[in-house]
C-alpha cells in the first residue's frame, strides 16, 4: 500500500480518487479503489500504524494541536463577484480522545438527505457584506444545532437572516480566512471553543458534525451520504486534512475511524456515557474486548418490535490485526502458508496489537472491530431508531 506525504504544495491535486485519510485502520480492503494517505510522515505506513496512541501519558489537550492550513489564509471575503457560491467551513478540534482530531459542521439537505457544506448563492446586489452574511448564516446554524429539541421548522433559511447587531450572545467562533476553489468561495471558522460533546441526533437535524474519516474514506455519516463536493474540496486542498502537534509540525495527529454499536433503547444513553460491555472475539482470542460494527450492522440487529438505538464512536486503536473469515478457499501453497502465518499472529496478537478487524461473509467490506483499550474509544453521537 503506497503512501504520500502531504504539505502545502499538495493543495492543487487534480484527482479525487488518489487519497484516503490516514487513520488507524489503513487497509486496502477497506477502501479498495484508492491508496493510503500518510500525512507528512517520513515513516512508511507500517511504522505509522505501530504508533501507540493509547500508551501516551499525555492527554489530547496537553498534546496540543496546530491546524497550519488555516493560519495564513487570505482574510478578504469581499470583491468576489465572479464566484458562484459561498461555502461555510466551520470546524472544531475535538480533544476528548487520546489525540486531537478534526470535525466539520456540515448541513443535511432536507430533500436529498445528503450532507454538504453550509452553502448559498452569492447575491451581488445585497447591501450587506459577504462577511456579515456568512456570519449571520453561521449564527443561525449554530443556534439550530444547539437547540435541545429539533423540528422540521428549525431549518436554515438564508433569506431570513438574523440582525447581527441585535444578537445577545457573543459568538465563540473565530474567522480564519478564505479559499477560492473551482469558482466557489470557502470561508473557514474555528468553532473549537464550543466544546460540543456527545449528543443525540435525529432525522430532523440540519447540522451534523462529521469527521475526516467519514468525509474522505466512507463518504457516509450514519445512513446519510456525504455530497461529493465535500471530499472534492478537501482532495483538491489536501493541507486541510492535516492536524499536527502544537510544537512539532512533522508529528501528524492521525484521524480516528468511525464505528457504531447497536443498543436497546434503555441501554443507549448508558453506552454513550459509560461505554459498552466487553465481549469475546471468538475469531482469534478468548480475551474480552469492546466490539463495534458498521452503521448498517448496528441498526439491523434490533429485536422485533423493540425500540433501538445506535451510538457512533471515534476509534483510535492504532495497531490492528486483520482477520479474514470470508469463505475464500486457499488455492496454492503460498496462500496456505499465509494462513498459517496469520494463525500464529492470532495467538500472539495481544502482545503487539491493540485491536482486531474481523471480516466475514455477511459484510465482506464492512468489518467489525474489537478494541482492547477503553481509552481508544470516544462516543460522538446517539441515534434512536423506531421499532
Domain annotation covers residue 247: no
Residue 246 pLDDT: 85
- Spatial distance between the Cα atoms of 88 and 288, rounded to a whole number of angstroms: 44
| Residue numbers of the domain that contains 134 | 8-241
The residues, any chain, with a CB within 8 Å of residue 16's CB and separated by 6 or more, are 228, 231, 232, 235, 236
Residues 184 and 228 in one domain: yes
- Whether 251 is covered by a domain: the verdict is no
Q: Do 101 and 183 belong to one domain?
A: yes
One domain, residues 237 and 311: no
- Give the pLDDT score at 104: 97
Nearest-angstrom CA–CA distance, 265 and 302: 10
| Terminal-residue alpha carbon distance, the chain | 43
Same domain, 213 and 263: no
Same domain, 138 and 15: yes
Which residue, of 212, 241, 270, is where some domain finishes? 241
Indicate the pairing of strand 118-121 with strand 207-211: unpaired
- Quote the CA–CA distance of 147 and 90 in Å, as a whole number: 18
Residue 360: which pLDDT band, with cuts at 50, 70 and 90? confident
Q: Do 231 and 241 touch, CB atoms closer than 8 A?
A: no
In a domain, 1, yes or no: no
| 312 part of a folded domain | yes
Note the pLDDT tens digit of each residue in 70-92. Answer: 998 998 887 766 677 899 999 99
The domain total for the chain is 2
**For 328-339, what is the mean pLDDT?**
47
DSSP 193: G
Residue 2 lies in a domain: no
Any domain includes 23: yes
Q: Is the pLDDT of residue 280 over 90?
A: no
Residue 171 sits in the same domain as residue 261: no
Which of 241, 271, 298 is the endpoint of a domain? 241
Q: Over 80: is that where the pLDDT of 305 sits? A: no
- Give dist(CA 101, CA 255) in Å, integer: 6
Report if residue 286 sits inside a domain.
yes
Long-range contacts of 279-284 (CB under 8 A, 24+ apart): 279/370, 281/356, 281/358, 281/370, 283/323, 283/325, 283/346, 283/356, 283/358, 284/321, 284/323, 284/346, 284/349, 284/356, 284/358
User: Quick check: helix, strand or coil at residue 12?
Assistant: coil
Q: What is the pLDDT of residue 363?
A: 67
Cα gap 377→241, rounded to integer Å: 21
Per the CB < 8 A criterion, the answer to whether 91 and 207 are in contact is no
The residue length of the chain stands at 387
Indicate whether 174 and 274 sit together in one domain. Answer: no
Q: Say whether both 160 and 286 belong to one domain.
A: no
Same structural domain for residues 169 and 39?
yes
CA 100 – CA 82 distance, rounded (Å): 37
**Grid cell in block for residue 147:** 437547540
Whether residues 305 and 344 fall in one domain: yes
Q: Per residue in 117-138, pLDDT tens? A: 999 887 666 667 888 889 889 9
- pLDDT surpasses 70 at 56: no
Compute the average pLDDT of residues 50-72. 61
Across residues 37-47, what is the average pLDDT? 27
pLDDT of residue 88: 95
Residue 359 has pLDDT above 70, yes or no: yes
Structural Rg of the chain based on CA atoms? 22
User: Which of 241, 272, 289 marks a domain boundary?
Assistant: 241
363 and 231 share one domain: no
Q: Strands across the sheet with 257-264, in order?
A: 199-201, 377-385, 308-315, 257-264
State whether 62 and 193 are in the same domain.
yes
Would you say residue 40 lies in a domain? yes
Give the pTM: 0.77
**CATH code of residue 331:** 3.90.228.10
Amino acid at each position: 500500500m503506497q503512501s504520500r506525504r502531504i504539505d502545502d504544495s499538495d493543495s492543487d491535486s487534480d484527482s479525487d480518487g488518489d487519497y484516503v485519510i490516514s487513520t488507524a485502520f489503513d487497509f486496502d480492503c477497506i477502501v479498495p479503489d484508492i491508496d493510503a494517505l500518510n500525512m507528512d510522515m517520513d515513516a512508511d505506513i507500517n511504522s505509522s500504524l505501530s504508533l501507540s496512541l493509547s500508551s501516551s501519558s499525555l492527554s489530547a489537550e496537553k498534546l496540543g494541536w496546530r491546524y497550519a492550513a488555516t493560519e495564513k489564509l487570505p482574510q478578504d471575503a469581499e470583491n468576489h463577484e465572479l464566484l458562484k457560491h459561498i461555502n461555510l467551513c466551520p470546524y472544531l478540534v475535538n480533544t476528548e480522545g487520546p489525540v486531537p482530531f478534526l470535525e466539520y459542521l456540515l448541513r443535511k439537505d432536507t430533500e436529498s438527505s445528503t450532507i454538504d457544506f453550509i452553502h448559498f448563492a452569492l447575491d451581488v446586489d445585497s447591501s450587506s457584506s459577504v462577511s456579515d452574511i456568512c456570519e449571520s448564516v453561521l449564527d443561525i446554524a449554530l443556534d439550530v444545532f444547539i437547540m435541545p429539541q429539533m423540528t422540521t421548522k428549525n431549518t436554515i433559511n438564508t433569506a431570513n437572516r438574523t440582525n447581527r447587531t441585535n444578537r445577545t450572545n457573543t459568538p465563540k467562533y473565530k474567522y480564519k480566512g478564505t479559499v477560492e476553489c473551482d469558482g466557489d468561495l470557502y470561508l473557514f471558522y474555528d468553532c473549537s471553543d464550543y466544546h460540543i460533546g456527545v449528543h443525540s441526533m435525529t432525522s430532523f437535524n440540519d447540522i451534523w458534525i462529521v469527521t475526516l474519516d467519514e468525509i474522505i474514506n466512507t463518504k457516509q455519516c450514519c445512513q446519510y451520504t456525504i455530497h461529493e463536493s465535500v471530499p472534492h474540496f478537501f482532495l483538491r486542498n489536501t493541507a486541510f486534512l492535516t492536524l499536527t502537534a502544537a510544537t512539532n509540525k512533522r508529528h501528524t495527529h492521525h484521524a480516528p475511524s468511525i464505528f457504531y454499536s447497536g443498543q436497546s433503547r434503555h441501554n443507549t444513553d448508558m453506552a454513550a456515557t459509560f461505554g459498552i460491555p466487553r465481549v469475546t472475539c471468538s475469531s482469534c482470542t478468548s480475551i474480552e474486548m469492546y466490539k463495534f460494527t458498521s452503521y448498517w450492522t448496528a441498526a439491523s440487529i434490533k429485536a422485533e418490535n423493540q425500540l433501538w438505538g445506535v451510538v457512533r464512536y471515534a476509534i483510535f486503536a492504532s495497531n490492528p490485526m486483520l482477520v479474514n473469515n470470508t469463505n475464500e478457499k486457499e488455492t496454492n501453497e503460498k496462500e496456505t502458508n499465509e494462513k498459517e502465518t496469520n494463525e500464529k499472529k492470532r495467538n500472539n496478537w495481544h502482545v503487539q496489537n491493540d485491536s482486531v478487524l474481523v471480516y466475514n461473509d455477511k459484510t465482506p467490506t464492512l468489518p467489525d472491530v474489537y478494541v482492547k483499550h477503553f481509552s481508544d474509544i470516544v462516543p460522538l453521537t446517539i441515534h434512536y431508531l423506531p421499532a
